[in-house]
Amino acid sequence: MSRHRVIIDTDPGVDDAAAILMALASPEIDLLGLTIVAGNVPLADTLANACRIVGLTGRTDVPVHGGVAGPLVRDQVYGKYARIGAFAEDLVARSDFSPAGEHAVHFLVRTARAAAAAAEPITICAIGPMTNIALALIQHPDVARGIREIVSMSGAFTALGHRTPWAEFNVYADPHAAEIVFRSGVPLTIMPLDMTFQALFTADHFARFRDQGGKPGRALFNLFTTFDRSDVNRFGRPGGPIHDATTVAFLVRPELFTGRKATVGTQLTGLTMGYTYADFYQKMDRAQNAKVMTGVDEQGFIDLLIERIARHGDTGVDPRTRGGQNA
């Protein structure tokens, strides 16, 4: 079985936890490490949260690297639920798992260069502000040759924003970093709010995490039920999205998604800083730089995420393998 060699760049974060646990339970993913950035909460908290998430699974082979503590240019902003901070012990059990000593940007550079030398390029799942990735690309442009693709949960086009009326949070938190990544020439797949809003998880789905997913599943249940994620006025029905997990699901089951090529960029100044645009019809004098996902098989994605989280609850099966056999 061909496996994606993946780094997850992340700012945990509740949705991030689901994406990380999905990747750790997917034999299609060879998770090389996590690179951590400030975003949903300050860096000390995102780093602690990442270690707790990985620690739940016993996957001490997956290093966690602390990265950049703030955006490149703009003032620091945090996520909607920043007050949750470091995950409390009654939500996610404390872990003795510690971060690696190497800085996240150095790890990205070193790993991408080695991947280029071996002709085995990596994939980056970017599910937080893209500051770590941007710094790696602008400081060491050669690392782009070692990146097969960046799959980014970012942007909002027809759906507009959720952190502000015009912006999706990951871009809003560091629009200058996003624009560097968008213009890097690395192949991009964008998972915008327009698509993530199409797959809504309800209390029944969270209960299945709890009942089937062992300690990781119970932690996800705790996190997802701490705040009411429904927005019936916006979504038209009960439930809420799990945005970040779509990046991992795309690598595992790309047939669940439909998309279109576009030129994607970011507004860097003024009141609407952080607004992302997508030119699907080549109105601009710029080459198309991304494939934007516009649709998702809702039931297929929900079933896949539930099934992968349930693998953590089967103590007789290594979640990295199919049916307990070597992948």
Active site residues: 243
DSSP helix/strand/coil, 182: helix
What is the β-pairing status of strands 4-10 and 29-36? parallel
Number of H helices, E strands in the chain: 12, 9
What is the β-pairing status of strands 290-296 and 257-266? antiparallel
Q: CB neighbours (10 Å) of residue 159?
A: 16
The phi, psi pair for 147, rounded to 5°, reads -110, 115
The phi, psi pair for 287, rounded to 5°, reads -65, 150
| CA nearest to 229, candidates 219, 217, 237, 239 | 239
Taken in order 98, 99, 102, 108, the sign of the CA dihedral is positive
